[in-house]
Amino acid sequence: MDPPHNDRLLRAAKGDRVDRPPVWVMRQAGRYLQEFKNVRKKYNFFHICQTPELASKVTLQPLKRFKLDAVIIFSDILVIPQALGMSVEMLPEVGPSFPRPLKIPGDLALLECDVDVDVALGYVYEAISLTCQKLEGRVPCIGFCGAPWTLMCYMIEGRGSQTVSGAKKWLYAYPKESHILLDILTNICIKFLVGQARAGARYLQVFDTLALHLGRDLFVKFAFPCLKKIAAKVKDELKQQDLDVPMCVFSKGTHHCLEMFEDTSYDVVGLDWTVEPAYALQKLPTKTLQGNLDPGALYSSKEDIEVLVKEMVAKFGGGKSKYIANLGHGVYPDCEPENMKAFVDAITAIV
């Protein structure tokens, strides 16, 4: 793969020095932008995800507004449960909803575990390829997937949950079946990420946003082995295909296990806003770090956003080596686009 004209993100991910921190934002394409809302009025959420032309269009919308160093393909982590045969709907004011979530271990038999990932999720690959064509090398396109534990939570809870008590019940009451489900999801994640890289994604991120519900023991026993295996296997398969694609893991709320990611194949570790940069730098000396401004900070004035950005970058050592600027979670839906612009502009102004 030829590198994009702006390869700042890729060089930073690999630990090379850059002229300034690269910047992209989780959920940078989506519901806080009026242009996305206009598309959403015409089509339901998953129709956009499953229609390459629409997904590509939405992916590129923030690049027209902001001086970003990458785009992230517009999709959703729950396309994997859909590929396994589960129905997922996006309900107004509710979010994702599973009409028939997994309730007991016997429900695992209902999953289409022999699914051909490249066929079932080929529309994501098409969206990435189309987006790369439209980008014409301007910036890299990011591919992603949800982590097995986070996917398991949604598949069992049936929707967002404040406690994920149903999924945690499985870990305690049905540990064997929990490992079986996590293994199924891990193997699909590996195939899906490799397919996205083949389609043109130059950077891959694994989102474990519900890891914050796990203490260290459960995280070590159930979630972390999946994350480690995904990076190792994806890297190995991509190497065999002469593809060199940096990988990032975003495991929210697992500061108590941060040092464990040092011994993985991830190039980058994303940090949520509760993690102090100095602590992360100590625990992950060889990794590039990504993050981690509180998304709520974008409610501040533009002047305060600039100050907060400068403080954040300074804490990460100035941002010209082994650092990628981002928020500590996805941009909130009621964020003012002009404040998002202030965040991005504050990063791009760093010299």
* Whether 234 contacts 204, CB under 8 Å: yes
Q: How far apart are CA 225 and CA 236, in angstroms?
A: 16
Closest listed residue to residue 251, CA positions, set 282, 292, 285: 292
The burial class, CB within 10 Å (0-12 / 13-18 / 19+), for 302 is middle
Catalytic residue among 40, 65, 138, 159: 40
Catalytic residue among 7, 76, 208, 272: 76
Query: Residues of 100-122 as b/e, b for ≥16 C-beta within 10 angstroms?
Result: ebbeeeebbeebeeebebeebbe
Q: Determine whether 332 is an active site residue.
A: no
- What SS3 state is found at 26? coil
* Whether 286 contacts 322, CB under 8 Å: no
Q: How far apart are CA 248 and CA 288, in angstroms?
A: 9
Output the pLDDT for position 96.
Answer: 94
Q: Determine whether 266 is an active site residue.
A: no
Output the pLDDT for position 170.
Answer: 98
Catalytic residue among 31, 65, 138, 159: 31
Catalytic residue among 8, 11, 20, 27: 27
Q: How far apart are CA 340 and CA 351, in angstroms?
A: 20
Backbone phi, psi, residue 10, to 5°: -70, -40
Return the percent helix, strand and coil in the chain, to nearest 5: 50, 10, 35
Output the pLDDT for position 351.
Answer: 78
For the chain, the domains span 8-348
Closest listed residue to residue 130, CA positions, set 192, 200, 61, 191: 200
Q: How far apart are CA 26 and CA 32, in angstroms?
A: 12
Q: Determine whether 43 is an active site residue.
A: no
Q: Which residues of the chain have pLDDT under 70?
A: 1
Q: How far apart are CA 328 and CA 345, in angstroms?
A: 17
Q: What is the pTM of this model?
A: 0.97
Backbone phi, psi, residue 188, to 5°: -70, -40
Catalytic residue among 154, 203, 266, 323: 154
In this structure, the number of other CB atoms found within 10 A of the CB of residue 180 comes to 14
* pLDDT tens string 230-288: 999 999 999 999 999 999 999 999 999 999 999 999 999 999 999 999 999 999 999 99
Q: List, as one string, the DSSP characters of 196-222.
A: HHHHT-SEEEEEETTGGG--HHHIIII
Output the pLDDT for position 1.
Answer: 62
- What SS3 state is found at 247? strand
53: Cβ contacts below 8 Å, ≥ 6 apart? 130
Tokens 């390829």: give the residue. Answer: 129
Q: Determine whether 40 is an active site residue.
A: yes
Q: Determine whether 31 is an active site residue.
A: yes
Q: How far apart are CA 110 and CA 290, in angstroms?
A: 38
Tokens 């300034």: give the residue. Answer: 20
Backbone phi, psi, residue 122, to 5°: -60, -25
Q: Most distant CA pair in the chain: distance in Å?
A: 58
- The fold for domain 8-348 equals TIM Barrel (3.20.20)
Closest listed residue to residue 246, CA positions, set 292, 295, 290, 185: 290
Cα 207 to the center of its chain, rounded Å: 4
Closest listed residue to residue 211, CA positions, set 281, 261, 141: 261
